[in-house]
């Protein structure tokens, strides 16, 4: 009794594990998206583009910075090389510096009824044009030490800001480009997601196809084995020749070889699917659609114009065109003036705000800086023309892509319709082949049909069943390709 319970528990656990491993197509898709490193790279690219967009927005704001420095100097600064003597004169009625006769030692004479001083040689001179000939009686002493400034320890610090006022529109366009780059990164991620889904769907349906073909090859081998057994008995009874038996043996060997190839192909295809989904390669997971009983969902058709707006490739090219337009505007902004508001607070020790004393002192200052381009000998004009050409190239690429994708949508729509027709025709062929094989089998049993005819009927049945499997898989793949062409295979990145 205990042994029976243990066996039942083991079977229950085994069945539970098998049930857990039975994967739907959507499960494989999600695992593939989670496992794929290329998609992770695209996701990080989107995050990086978002950060660059936020960085570009900061260019609208003031740039504030602080600076500080300390310098030790060996010597002080002296404005005089030695003590200086300054003449003592008089402030004249007109406010100018002058002198009276008793303040100088020069002799005087009268020229044109006006007193004129004489130099040391007794020659008259104009004191305004030749002040060095004046012989002053009194001088004021200006010591050298009074004009020395201690700069052995110099501290300088400041806070400043620069606020753009008008930059020709380049900051706004740079911000737009950063937004376009973010949308471009999202479109590329959608494109990569679409590629991964197509890859995993192809691998999934390849495994389903080969599983069915392995089952079909096994069934066909069983038919040949049964026929071989019957033929051996007939040879023993003398109602058939060894040549007939050898024909069956050859067919049986072919069936064995076909089964081996199908099984080998199934193992390799399963490994490929496991690798895409991030499952251990030797894991023999069961697929929910391996019986091929589910009817394929008809892809909902949408207008071509709407489909083009959903295609990630069109989104990429649209953003590339937008970037080219903004780049042209940035190039045009180089012809316009740049105006910024500046301001700072500067503090220093020693400071020159109060007699160059060794104390900290500072002041605020504000200003407007304008830079106006005059000429660069045509360099900016040529650059602008190149930017216009780049924008036109981006537009032409977009238009060309739209034309090709419209053709692709129409082609895939026709292929879907054709695949359904092939599936219906293949299903009819199976019915006819099964009926033909039934009558051939009954006729062989009755002795009215040869083994060669029965083999031909069985081969035709095998071919019909194989074609039906291919046609059914083709229907699913054609619908997949049509969804990709319509842009409905992947939800937009904003919805992720």
Confidence of residue 290 (pLDDT cuts 50, 70, 90): confident
Q: Residue 8 above 60 pLDDT?
A: no
Q: Is the pTM of this model over 0.75?
A: yes
Tokens of 21: 């491993």
pLDDT value at residue 11: 41
The closest alpha carbon to 422, from 471, 372, 386, belongs to 471
Torsion angles phi and psi, residue 292, rounded to 5: 55, 35
468/289 Cα distance (integer angstroms): 15
Round the average pLDDT of the chain to a whole number and report it. Answer: 88
Confidence of residue 398 (pLDDT cuts 50, 70, 90): very high
297/416 Cα distance (integer angstroms): 11
Q: Residue 17 above 80 pLDDT?
A: no
Residue 126 makes CB contacts below 8 A (sequence gap 6+) with 116
Question: How big is the chain by its Cα radius of gyration, in Å?
Answer: 48
Strands 361-371 and 338-349: antiparallel
68 vs 110, which has greater pLDDT? 68
pLDDT value at residue 15: 39
Q: Residue 104 above 80 pLDDT?
A: yes
Residue 452 makes CB contacts below 8 A (sequence gap 6+) with 247
pLDDT value at residue 9: 41
């Amino acid at each position: 009794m205990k042994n029976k319970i243990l066996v039942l528990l083991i079977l229950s656990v085994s069945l539970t594990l098998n049930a857990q491993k039975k994967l739907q197509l959507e499960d494989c898709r999600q695992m593939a998206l989670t496992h794929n490193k290329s998609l992770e790279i695209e996701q990080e690219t989107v995050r990086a583009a978002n950060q660059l967009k936020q960085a570009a927005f900061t260019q609208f704001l003031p740039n504030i910075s602080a600076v500080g420095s300390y310098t030790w100097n060996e010597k002080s600064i002296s404005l005089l090389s030695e003590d200086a003597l300054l003449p003592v004169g008089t402030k004249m009625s007109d406010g100018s510096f002058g002198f009276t006769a008793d303040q100088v030692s020069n002799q005087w004479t009268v020229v044109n009824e006006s007193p004129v001083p004489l130099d040391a040689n007794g020659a008259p001179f104009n004191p305004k044009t030749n002040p060095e000939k004046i012989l002053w009686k009194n001088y004021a002493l200006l010591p050298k030490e009074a004009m020395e400034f201690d700069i052995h320890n110099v501290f300088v610090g400041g806070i400043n800001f620069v606020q753009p006022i008008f930059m020709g529109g380049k900051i706004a366009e740079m911000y737009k480009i950063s937004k376009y780059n973010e949308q471009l990164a999202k479109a590329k991620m959608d494109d990569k997601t679409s590629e991964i889904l197509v890859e995993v769907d192809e691998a999934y349906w390849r495994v389903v196809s080969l599983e069915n073909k392995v089952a079909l090859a096994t069934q066909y081998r069983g038919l040949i084995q049964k026929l071989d057994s019957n033929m051996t008995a007939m040879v023993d009874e003398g109602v058939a020749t060894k040549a007939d038996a050898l024909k069956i043996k050859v067919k049986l060997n072919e069936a064995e070889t076909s089964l081996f190839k199908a099984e080998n192909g199934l193992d390799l295809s399963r490994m490929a699917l496991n690798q895409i989904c991030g499952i251990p390669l030797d894991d023999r997971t069961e697929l929910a659609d391996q019986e091929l009983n589910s009817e394929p969902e008809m892809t909902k058709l949408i207008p071509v114009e709407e489909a083009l707006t959903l295609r990630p490739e069109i989104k990429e090219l649209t953003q590339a065109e937008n970037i080219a337009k903004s780049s042209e505007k940035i190039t045009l902004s180089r012809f316009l003036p740049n105006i910024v508001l500046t301001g700072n607070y500067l503090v220093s020790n020693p400071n020159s705000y109060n007699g160059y004393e060794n104390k900290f002192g500072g002041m605020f200052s504000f200003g407007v800086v304008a830079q106006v381009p005059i000429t660069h000998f045509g360099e900016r004009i040529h650059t602008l023309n190149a930017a216009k050409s780049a924008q036109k190239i981006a537009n032409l690429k977009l238009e060309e892509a739209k034309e090709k994708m419209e053709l692709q949508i129409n082609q895939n729509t026709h292929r879907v319709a054709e695949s359904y027709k092939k599936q219906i025709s293949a299903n009819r062929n199976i019915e006819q082949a099964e009926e033909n094989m039934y009558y051939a089998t009954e006729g062989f049993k009755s002795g009215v049909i040869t083994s060669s005819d029965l083999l031909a009927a069985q081969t035709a049945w095998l071919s019909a069943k194989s074609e039906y499997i291919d046609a059914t898989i083709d229907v699913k793949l054609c619908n997949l390709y049509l969804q990709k062409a319509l842009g409905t295979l992947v939800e937009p990145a904003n919805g992720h």
